[in-house]
């Protein structure tokens, strides 16, 4: 039954009719701000709107944090909660099980594994506690049903393959906990692959054998493989190996700003050719040159040194850490990029990949945000700017959710095909 698998893949590739997008979009220069806002709201009200990368659990761990209450970035250093999602016309998105890269030792891996599952459980406990406001989704169908019920949609993704150590069986456990994308690396190399930003350079020259097996296991289970944070070579290896389209859950364009976290045009094209998506990352430092600010850097470093061992801090110390962080942000405001620059990246992606292959992530609670769009309640400025530049309602429906849901569905369908074949044998 190998034939049906290869024909599945072929169909997926052939389905990508137009890669480069030569569509002439007519800017709505004569529209008033109110007209643009009205249409933006109509679009957000009528389609599934998802942000594919939110580091919510980092904030959920703070003592006393209640996600059912409205917060703000400037007063609480928080960028995601249910009231702001609703106020900003966002249905939800992917919450991320993130574990920072530690040593590649038995002890380091064991710690990463237990932290990862703790975070996944924290996500479930939070959603259960707020079951009147939100529900977990694992398929596009579930997401649409949750949206129709008026609740917020919570998908789960993993950021950093370190969360499974070297134990591939854990991918199934994560799948059972609802995880539907797997970010292979974070800011440093791990056992699976090389990162785009490890100061030590390459360790495996791309994917390791274990990383290859992890990609195959994700395909088998129906988990999307996420190339954000992976080195170019790792990303190419993943693209070549994966039987289903891949995602970049939060990445920008190298052609717009040459940062190793951004994707070059050749990679963008290949992701699109394999029917994947790139979710533009609203992370200011990956979008512009920042004037060095010695005082801010030193203050941030001192804060980090004092509080970095978050799990070992007492409750009072954790509260103090947040208060100090908020005070620091006020004293030394973070240099921010703009919504217009975000849409410049999007324009470039659309030109290179076509409008079927893009989406958005704020990287909120993980360092993301630009001027006038510093939390999940402030996504409307992006839609307004895209409308101003001539994007259609159909474009925006794809951008805000349909594209990434197509990739998720392809992963689910592929896994189902494998299961059917196994049952026939
Ligand atoms: Zn990240």
Tell me how far the alpha carbon of residue 235 lies from the centroid of ligand 1, in angstroms.
15
Give the per-residue pLDDT at 5.
52
Residue that finishes a domain, picked among 268, 303, 334: 334
Q: Assess whether pLDDT exceeds 90 at residue 11.
A: no
Q: Are residues 398 and 410 in the same domain?
A: yes
Tell me how far the alpha carbon of residue 281 lies from the centroid of ligand 1, in angstroms.
9
Q: Assess whether pLDDT exceeds 70 at residue 339.
A: yes
Q: Are residues 411 and 386 in the same domain?
A: yes
Give the per-residue pLDDT at 22.
73
Tell me how far the alpha carbon of residue 30 lies from the centroid of ligand 1, in angstroms.
38
Give the per-residue pLDDT at 296.
92
Q: Are residues 148 and 80 in the same domain?
A: yes
Tell me how far the alpha carbon of residue 272 lies from the centroid of ligand 1, in angstroms.
21
Evaluate whether residue 175 is within a structural domain: yes
Tell me how far the alpha carbon of residue 33 lies from the centroid of ligand 1, in angstroms.
33
Tell me how far the alpha carbon of residue 165 lies from the centroid of ligand 1, in angstroms.
18
Share of the chain above pLDDT 90, in %: 89
pLDDT band at 8 (very low <50, low <70, confident <90, very high): low
Q: Are residues 286 and 298 in the same domain?
A: no
* DSSP per position, 174-220: HHHTTEEEEE---SS--SSB-BSS-TT--SSSSB-HHHHHHHHHHHH
Q: Are residues 257 and 304 in the same domain?
A: no
Measured distance CA(25)–CA(27) in Å, rounded: 6
Q: Are residues 274 and 382 in the same domain?
A: yes
Give the per-residue pLDDT at 425.
79
Measured distance CA(401)–CA(394) in Å, rounded: 11
Residue that finishes a domain, picked among 312, 334, 356: 334
- Summarised one tens digit per residue, pLDDT across range 266-325 is 999 999 999 999 999 999 999 998 888 899 999 999 999 998 777 788 889 989 999 999
pLDDT band at 126 (very low <50, low <70, confident <90, very high): very high
Give the per-residue pLDDT at 3.
46
For 293-315, b/e burial (b = at least 16 CB within 10 A) is eeebeebbeeeeeebeeeeebee
Q: Assess whether pLDDT exceeds 80 at residue 6.
A: no
Q: Are residues 113 and 167 in the same domain?
A: yes
Tell me how far the alpha carbon of residue 285 lies from the centroid of ligand 1, in angstroms.
12
Q: Assess whether pLDDT exceeds 80 at residue 336.
A: yes
Tell me how far the alpha carbon of residue 185 lies from the centroid of ligand 1, in angstroms.
9
Of 140-144, 351-355, 373-377, 421-425, where does mean pLDDT reach its minimum?
Answer: 421-425
Q: Are residues 181 and 327 in the same domain?
A: no
* Domain of residue 90, residue span: 47-290+336-424
Evaluate whether residue 32 is within a structural domain: no
Evaluate whether residue 38 is within a structural domain: no
For 220-240, b/e burial (b = at least 16 CB within 10 A) is bbbbbbbbbbbbbbbbbbbbe
Evaluate whether residue 21 is within a structural domain: no
Whether residue 387 contacts residue 395, with contact meaning beta carbons closer than 8 Å, is answered with: no
Q: Are residues 256 and 177 in the same domain?
A: yes
Q: Are residues 246 and 145 in the same domain?
A: yes
- Summarised one tens digit per residue, pLDDT across range 31-86 is 999 999 999 999 999 999 999 999 999 999 999 999 999 999 999 999 999 999 99
Evaluate whether residue 20 is within a structural domain: no
Q: Are residues 236 and 174 in the same domain?
A: yes
Q: Assess whether pLDDT exceeds 50 at residue 379.
A: yes
Measuring CA to CA, how many Å separate 286 from each of 85, 186, 261? Answer: 24, 15, 7
Q: Assess whether pLDDT exceeds 50 at residue 102.
A: yes
Give the per-residue pLDDT at 19.
52
DSSP 3-state assignment of 159?
A: strand
Q: Are residues 92 and 214 in the same domain?
A: yes
Q: Is residue 359 classed exposed, middle or buried when 0-12, 13-18 and 19+ CB atoms within 10 A define those classes? A: buried
Q: Which residues contact 314 (CB under 8 A, 6 or more apart)?
A: none
Evaluate whether residue 218 is within a structural domain: yes
What is the number of structural domains in the chain? 2
Give the per-residue pLDDT at 14.
43
Give the per-residue pLDDT at 349.
97
State the CATH number of the domain containing residue 230: 3.20.20.140
DSSP 3-state assignment of 388?
A: helix
Tell me how far the alpha carbon of residue 55 lies from the centroid of ligand 1, in angstroms.
9
Tell me how far the alpha carbon of residue 58 lies from the centroid of ligand 1, in angstroms.
13
* 106-132 mean pLDDT: 98
Tell me how far the alpha carbon of residue 204 lies from the centroid of ligand 1, in angstroms.
21
Tell me how far the alpha carbon of residue 129 lies from the centroid of ligand 1, in angstroms.
27
* DSSP per position, 302-333: HHHHHH--GGGS-HHHHHHHHHHHHHHHHHSP
Evaluate whether residue 24 is within a structural domain: no
Evaluate whether residue 8 is within a structural domain: no
Residue that finishes a domain, picked among 334, 358, 386: 334
Tell me how far the alpha carbon of residue 96 lies from the centroid of ligand 1, in angstroms.
9
Tell me how far the alpha carbon of residue 249 lies from the centroid of ligand 1, in angstroms.
9
**What mean pLDDT value characterizes the chain?**
94
pLDDT band at 409 (very low <50, low <70, confident <90, very high): very high
Tell me how far the alpha carbon of residue 46 lies from the centroid of ligand 1, in angstroms.
29
């Amino acid at each position: 039954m190998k034939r049906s698998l290869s024909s599945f893949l072929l169909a997926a590739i052939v389905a990508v009719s137009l890669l480069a997008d030569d569509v002439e979009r007519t800017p709505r220069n004569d529209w008033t701000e109110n007209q643009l806002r009205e249409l933006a709201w109509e679009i957000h009200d009528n389609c599934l709107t998802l942000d594919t990368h939110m580091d919510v659990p980092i904030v959920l761990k703070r003592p006393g944090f209640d996600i059912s209450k409205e917060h703000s970035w400037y007063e609480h250093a928080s960028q995601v909660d249910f009231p702001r999602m609703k106020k900003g016309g966002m249905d939800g998105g992917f919450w991320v099980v993130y574990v920072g890269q530690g040593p590649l030792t038995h002890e380091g891996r064991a710690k990463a594994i237990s932290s990862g599952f703790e975070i996944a459980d924290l996500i479930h406990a939070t959603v259960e506690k707020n079951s009147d406001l939100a529900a977990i989704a694992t398929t596009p169908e579930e997401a649409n049903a949750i949206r129709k019920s008026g609740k917020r949609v919570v998908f789960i993704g993993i950021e950093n393959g370190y969360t499974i150590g070297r134990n591939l069986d854990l991918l199934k456990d994560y799948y059972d906990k609802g995880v539907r994308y797997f970010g292979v690396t974070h800011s440093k190399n791990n056992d699976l692959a090389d990162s785009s930003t490890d100061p030590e350079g390459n360790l495996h020259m791309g994917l390791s054998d274990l990383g290859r097996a992890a990609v195959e296991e994700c395909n088998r289970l129906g988990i999307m493989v996420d190339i954000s944070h992976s080195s170019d070579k790792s990303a190419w290896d993943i693209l070549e190996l994966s039987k289903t389209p891949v995602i970049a859950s939060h990445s920008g364009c190298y052609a717009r700003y040459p940062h190793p976290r951004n994707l070059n045009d050749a990679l963008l094209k290949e992701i699109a050719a394999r029917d994947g998506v790139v979710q533009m990352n609203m992370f200011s430092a990956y979008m512009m040159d920042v004037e060095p600010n010695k005082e801010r850097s030193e203050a941030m470093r001192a804060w980090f040194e004092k509080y970095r061992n978050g799990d070992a801090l007492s409750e009072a110390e954790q509260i103090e850490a947040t208060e100090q962080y908020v005070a620091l942000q006020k004293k030394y405001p973070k240099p921010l990029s703009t919504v217009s620059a975000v849409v410049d990246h999007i324009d470039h992606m659309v030109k290179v990949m076509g409008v079927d292959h893009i989406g958005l992530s704020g990287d909120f609670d993980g360092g993301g945000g630009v001027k006038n769009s510093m939390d999940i309640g402030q996504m409307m400025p992006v839609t307004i700017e895209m409308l101003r530049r001539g994007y259609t309602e159909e474009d925006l429906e794809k951008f805000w959710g349909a594209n990434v849901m197509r990739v998720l569905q392809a992963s689910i369908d592929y896994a189902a095909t494998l299961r059917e074949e196994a049952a026939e044998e």
